[in-house]
């Protein structure tokens, strides 16, 4: 339950959201709206819930709204305690 920073660089974006999921496990709604910094980087401080089964394998779906339409990127990562 320690917060960490998420940063996305997308100069075309007008909006950026990130949704965190765990495969096969209901972890509640973990959707964040990233805010654009003065340097043009999108940022959010993220705090994810602890899995009762002790898992720490996550997927993040990043959605970036651009003039060309919605771009989606999915990444897998492991939280280290």
Predicted local distance difference test score (pLDDT) of residue 79: 83
Full set of structural domains in the chain with CATH: 4-78 (2.60.40.10)
Its pTM stands at: 0.90
pLDDT value at 75 more than 90: yes
Question: Could you tell me the end-to-end alpha-carbon distance of the chain, in angstroms, rounded to an integer?
Answer: 10
- Note the pLDDT tens digit of each residue in 53-65: 989 999 999 999 9
How far apart CA 69 and CA 81 sit, in angstroms, is 37
For the chain, percent of residues with pLDDT exceeding 90: 88
Strand blocks (E) in 10-68: 15-21, 31-36, 41-46, 57-66
Mean pLDDT of 58-80: 95
Six-digit token string for 53: 């089964």
């Amino acid at each position: 339950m320690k917060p960490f920073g998420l940063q996305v660089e997308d100069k075309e974006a007008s909006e950026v959201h990130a949704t965190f999921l765990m495969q096969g496990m209901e972890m509640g709604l973990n959707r964040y709206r990233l805010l654009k910094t003065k340097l043009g980087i999108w940022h959010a401080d993220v705090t994810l819930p602890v899995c009762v089964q002790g898992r720490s394998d996550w997927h993040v779906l990043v959605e970036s709204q651009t003039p060309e339409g919605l771009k989606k990127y999915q990444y897998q990562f492991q939280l280290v305690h």
